[in-house]
Structure formats: structure tokens, C-alpha cells
Structure 1
């Protein structure tokens, strides 16, 4: 059997980087910036007030309480300023530019709030309550490094330095195909021996959560010709094909039958769940085939496909965060395989509870899990109280 790391390397090598395009900042959430972003301006771009109050010369109020004339109002956004004359003050709002001649701002709470004249009841030191130009960002600073994930704060920073568009890698277009004559679309009645199709919904959602695009193809019965026909007119627009089911050793393994000899290789991977895997190129389009049992399919997505999609989009960090935790129950792991068990991590306590058994059909346990407990290939038994590695699913 191939190791988990070997198969991950294969999948990462298949799914190459998508082209770079420039798109509006508002549309970049969750993507990764493809190039360093340097600021063309300083932040703040000018000295501005950190308080609502009065711009002053600090030496003029050393003997407070002092009453001074108010010679001007400076709201935020004012572009024409008059110089502050000695022995006077100007009323100023938070974020407004500090007038020439002023070296401090007295917060309004230390005054009587006067409009024509103001009584100042406390002293301030030079520089007090002034945000200096460039104290956050200097002109030419790299504010976002290539590969950085664009969350709300990163997008806010990009907008603050005047970037209307950002260079990002195009979202990969993924075709998702579930196979099996036993599958029925949700909302229809089930006949004996049939089950509702869920893998397509689950995998498409997981793909979209990475920032990629997913199109769910109508699942096809266990028929090779129908399988090829379902893909034929979509190959030109696809960056990746993902299938679930039809890759084991049974008599009706349509994915295996259709792709064997057509550029896709199938292998057993030393993991539980998710042993039967496949990867390759079908008519020039990368293909990753996943097992059909729902937990096997989703665990395989987390281990192989999610990192590959994030890598294709240029993310500097492609793996989910891991940490150590104390497991509260004993477990057994098959020798020679890396086991992934569903768990509930208590972040505060640093403990993890197993959720459900190891069975690859136990989807309800996966739905309440917030982590995967990873048992290395060489470990057969884990005792309650042992330290284990967990992969967070909620970050």
C-alpha cells in the first residue's frame, strides 16, 4: 500500500496553480493574494486626532485651567487648514487632520465643550492624542505577503492603502460526480435497496468552503458509457474532476472501469478510513477518485483534496491546524495504517472525546465532530490519558 504522504504528494502534483487574475477587493474573501502588496501611501496618511477635543499648543495650557478662544472647527475630512496661532485653540474631531502649529489634542472631557471660547481644565504633553503619519504603515511597506489568506482584516488593510483590486489565483473549477445505481436524489421516495445521494452535496460544499467552485454532475448508474457521457461536454471547462464511489474491488466499480487505461491509476493507501484511492489525468483533466462511503470520502477530502485546492489557489498555509490533546477513551488502530477518528476537542481543557466508532458509514458522528484524531501507522493501541495529535475541523 502507498503511504498517506505518498498519495498526498501525488495529488498535490496533479492539481497545479490556477492563473492569476485581478478581482475587486470585495470579492476576494477567503482567497490568497498572489503577489506582495506594497503600500503606495502611509497609514495614517497625515497627522490626525485620536480624540474629539481641541487642538492646542501644549505650552499654552501648562497652567490649566485656561480659557482660550476657539478660532476654527476641524471635522474629519476637512482639507483646508488654518495654522493654529499661539494662545488659541481649534475644535477638532476624531480622525480629522491636526492643523499646523498644534502639537497636542485635549480631549473634550477635560473641557467645558465651548464653541467660541473653551475652558480647558487639564494639561497635556506634546504629542498627546495625535496619530502620527506613517506610524502604522510607511510608503513602500509590504502590507500583505504573497500567499496570505484574505480575511476581513486583510481586505480592510488592502482597502485602507487604496487597493481596489487584488491579484489572486482564479478559483479552481471542480466537477463532482457521485456514482451508483443505488443512489436517489433527496426528495424522492426510496425503493428497497436504494439510498439517498449525499456525497455530492457534502463534497461540493467542502470544495466551495476552500474558495473553489464546484459543479455537481447528476450521478450516473454503474455503467461505463453513461459515466463517459456525463463527463464528455464538461471537460473543457474543468480544472479538476472529483468522483466518489466505484473504486473498490467489487464487480460494479464504474469509476475504476471507466478510468483504468485512461490515465488514472488506482491504489490502496495505508489509512483508515479511505483505503481505496485513485489519481491521474483523464483526457487532459486532473482526476482524484475518492471512496464511496461518506466518512471515507470526507476524510479523504480533508487529507488530500483540501490541501491540493488551497495549494492551487496559492495559499501559504495549505493544511489545517494541528495540536496535541489528551484523549479520554482508549482506541485500537489497525497495524500499518494511519487512522483518522472523529472527535470533539475541548479547546480550553485540552482534551478530546471520540465520537462514534471507526466505521466509514457513520456520518452522524462526523457531523458533530470538530476534529480528527490522528493515530500514526506504527501505533496499534492508544490508552485513555495518552497525548494524541488532532486536526481541527472548525478553523
Structure 2
């Protein structure tokens, strides 16, 4: 989330961008527009407005002076979110063999490519003039039963910091890695950004990026595990996606990256799946629930994440509260929320996480070395905001 100066909104109006569109998507607080509003978190609104959003983006791009950079980025973020929402729903329909008129894997590929293109733009790696090319028409998907939104690791800065770290401290240090696997649904935006950034950043490497639907919190209704502990691979993606995954993973070293790790069930299941396909997995968490492990001896990350991040995890209750402000159209409440007033820095939080990790006594020396390397890298390179602490329950403990 970021602010859009009033001068940019005025410039957009002068360029002919409809005022109704500017009023609907940026949320206004204290005379300044925020990049996300209820339209961002209600994807059906975004789906209907996608042609107008893309037209507005093109209007800005056809100006040589690029007069509204913050507004332009907000338009791309909103388009990215709605294409990701539609692509994920189509992914689920094709995986679960839900009959949807006009939907096949070619359609899914086009939606994923659109999401990847928008991710490349957000990362600054898209070719100039790419917006002259059309994006897939979303009108045929207006009848989809459900659309989900994505938290994008709370900020594009965090997402790109993570991918930069993976390139320099994981992919470069493990040259045997040839594939990256990202579990859905929560990590979908991370997966699209990985598709856009990783192969381009290391063109000399054979490096494929795959998405799999695998999760045990948001996707708790899906019965992934057989009684013998193996994973039902037919549930992780549509047939052609599974075939590509199996071909690239067999006999390969695979990096599995999950955005938010609590109990570690998803990473353990992903490691099992990669093993079933004949590969070997190296697992990574982008956010880690260190407070959960430090207070609860029943749960640990040591056997789930080979490379656990020291970033604390953003609690889902805080995320829901912040989104709730915007869905109610209360941008002032969003701006004034205590989640934006954390006094410590992310680096201080990561140092605290490292102390908690040492206190667990379960992490191997190689895991601790990797965490120290991450902390050193973060101090030099990461400018992410701190993570709001988990809410405190009536017992005085942090919520799980």
C-alpha cells in the first residue's frame, strides 16, 4: 500500500482518465489517495473494471513524460490482483474438473502469462511499451463462483527483497537447483513474480518455476494426504501443469518457497511430493511464526524449512482487520491503524527471531548459518517496514 499524490490524480483527470474510476479504486484519506481500496479486495469489482484500468494504464504510458508514476503503479497492482484471482480460480476448476464453459489449459496459460507480465512491470523488468499488447479478456469469467485475493506478502518491496535474497544466497550458492516450486494459494503472487524475475535474472541457468496447489490452512477442505502419508498429486494442479512439473522435477534439485509458515505442514507435504516425483527438495519460508515456536513446545520449523526466514509472520487477524477497513470504505481507519505504528525495525525483529531460534535448540548449524547470512543481507539491502506483532489473547499470549 502506498499513497498517490493529489497532483497525480489531477494530472490523470486532465489526461482524460474517468473520474469515476479514480474515485472507485484509490481509497482517499486526508486528501491523499491510497493505492488499494475496497475495489482491490473485492475482485468482482476489479474484474468488471479491468478494461478501464488497462485503458487508463495505456493513457499514462503513451505520455512521454510519464506524469503519474504512483497512480500508474496502483493501476498495475490492481490489474495484477484481479488477473491472479481469476487465474487461481481457473486453476482450481481445471484441477478439480469443474466444468466451466470455454475454460481449458490454454486459457489458464494466457492468464498466468498476463499475471507474469504484470509482475514483471511491478519489478521494473517489463519491456517498455508492453502495454500496447492486449491482456486476456476477463468478461467470460464474470460468472465464476468465487474469486480470492492475494496479500502479496503485504508489499511488493517484501516480495522483491525475498527474490533478490533467493538469487544471491540460495540459487547462486546451490548451482544444482534447476526448479523452483511455489505452493498456492497464499504464495500465488510470489509465484508469479518468481516466474517474471528468476529466469530473467539468471539467463545462463536452467531454472523453471512451477506452481502447485497445496496447503493445509486456507485449503483445509482438500484431502491431499493418502493414508500412507503420500500426497495425491492429482490434486495439486491441472494435468498439463502436473506433467511439466513432473518432467522438470524428476532427478532434479528443487527449491520450494512458501510465503508464510506456521506449523510447517505445507512445506513437509511439498517435500514429500517432490520426493514422489523423483526429486530432492530444499525448503524455504518467507515468513516464520517464531513466537508460536518459542511458546509452544509442540510445534517447530526445524524439520519443515531447511532455510527458515527470520522475518516474523504477519498474523491473519491483522491482515483481516486492515482489509476490513478498506472494504468498509474507511481509508482513515486504515491509515490510523496501530499496525502502521510498530516502533521496532524489521532488522530488530529479525534479531529477536534469531534469539528465539537459538532458544529452541532444534535448528542445525547449517540452518543457523543461513539465518545469520539472511540477517546480514537484510541489514544491508532490505528496507521493508516492520511486521505488526500478533494480537494478544485474553490469556496474555500471542494469538496462534
Q: TM-score, normalised by structure 2?
A: 0.24
The structure whose residues are more often strand, as a share, is 1
* Rg (Cα) greater in structure: 1
Q: TM-score, normalised by structure 1?
A: 0.24
Structure with bigger RCO (C-alpha 8 Å, 6+ apart)? 1
